[in-house]
Amino acid sequence: MKFTPRLPRENVNVSSTHPLAELLWLTGGLVLIALSGYLLLGLLVDWAAESVPVRAENWLGAKAAEQFPAQPSPALQHRLDLLLDRLPVASPLHDYSFRVSLQETPEVNAFALPGGRIVVFSGLLEQVESENELAMVLAHELGHYAHRDHLRRLGRGFGVTVAAMLLLGKDSFITDFVSQTFLTFEAGYSRTQETAADDYGLKLLVARYGHAGGAVDLFRRMTDRSQAGIAALFASHPHPDDRIAALERVILNNGYPVEEPETLEDENWEE
């Protein structure tokens, strides 16, 4: 046999796929898996929000309350109790023992934490001018409980962070990144949830006072003034103009009377 030196025509040992194309396929697959996991988690959270017992919620609420240095406020509690008396007999909110507390923060906001803990920021009280407005704020938060939004909101961000923590460990910078991103993204309610809570709040307000006076006053004041503290509320809630329009539509459709709201007495909110 004669030896004929020649080079092989092609290299069978190296695939011809472009490395960037491979990266795209692989990361695409990974993103797809993550995305379906996220969606699945969303469904799971919806299911969990519907079925979690109040006892488990109270435990979660105690955890969440640690993040808010809020003091109990008897003055606010009294107003909340008056609202609670007007709840329909069949309301699921009767299972809760609601506690409202006050936090010294210039931010204009209020929170519905799990387990019936409502936190009102002092910045909000400074904006409120009538009893009816304050009742509307509290009733709005009760609306979130009635629709179990407070759990839904906590759940997804919580779930994603927990999932990242389990997969990558809590020291991983990806976990950090995920918790930063998702917890802030999920911190607000959706537009639909806010509108539904407004709707619920309005009905409770009418049940309490017999008229819808003061329901939109706070939102209206927010559109008029452009203060730094108010900007925070804009970030996590839909635009006040939309909320006013939606509320006025409900008032009109149901034929609620609108009367003069009661002036808010200057109270010692802290004690």
Partner 1 sequence: MTATILHNLDLFIFLILLLCGYIVGSLSERRHYRSIEARERALLRLAVVTAEGRFDPYQVKDAFLVNGSVVISTDYFKRLLAILRNIFGGRVKAYESLVDRARREAILRMKEQARAGGAQMIVNLRLETATIGRSANRKKQVGSVEAMAYGTAVVIERQ
What residues between 155 and 194 interact with partner 1 by CB under 8 A?
173, 177
Which residue in 14, 43, 90, 228 binds partner 1 (CB under 8 A)? 14
15 binds partner 1 (CB under 8 A): yes
1 binds partner 1 (CB under 8 A): no
235 binds partner 1 (CB under 8 A): no
26 binds partner 1 (CB under 8 A): yes
User: Among the candidate windows 15-23, 135-143, 151-159, 184-192, which touches partner 1 by CB under 8 A?
Assistant: 15-23
- Nearby residues of 264 by Cβ (< 8 Å), 6 or more positions away: 128, 129, 130, 131, 133, 134
Which residue in 1, 2, 6, 266 binds partner 1 (CB under 8 A)? 6
Compare residues 173 and 224 and give the one whose CB is closer to partner 1: 173
Cα separation, 96 vs 78, whole angstroms: 16
Report the length, in residues, of the chain. 271
Minimum distance from residue 26 beta carbon to partner 1 (Å):
4
Strand, coil or helix: 186: coil
Beta strands at 99-103 and 117-121: parallel, antiparallel or unpaired: parallel
The kind and range of the H/E element at 117 are strand 117-121
User: Among the candidate windows 3-11, 41-49, 67-75, 133-141, which touches partner 1 by CB under 8 A?
Assistant: 3-11
Contacts within 8 Å (CB) and 24+ apart, 59-62: 59/115, 60/114, 60/115, 60/151, 60/154, 61/113, 61/114, 61/115, 61/116, 61/117, 62/115
Minimum distance from residue 67 beta carbon to partner 1 (Å):
21
Of the candidates 239, 255, 236, 226, the residue with the CA atom closest to the CA atom of residue 190: 236
Minimum distance from residue 231 beta carbon to partner 1 (Å):
19
3 binds partner 1 (CB under 8 A): yes
Cα separation, 200 vs 195, whole angstroms: 9
Distances (CA, A) of 29 to 23, 24, 73, 166, 173: 10, 8, 52, 20, 22
19 binds partner 1 (CB under 8 A): yes
Compare residues 26 and 245 and give the one whose CB is closer to partner 1: 26
30 binds partner 1 (CB under 8 A): yes
Q: Which residues bind partner 1 (CB under 8 A)?
A: 3, 5-7, 11, 13-15, 17, 19-20, 22-23, 26-27, 29-30, 173, 177
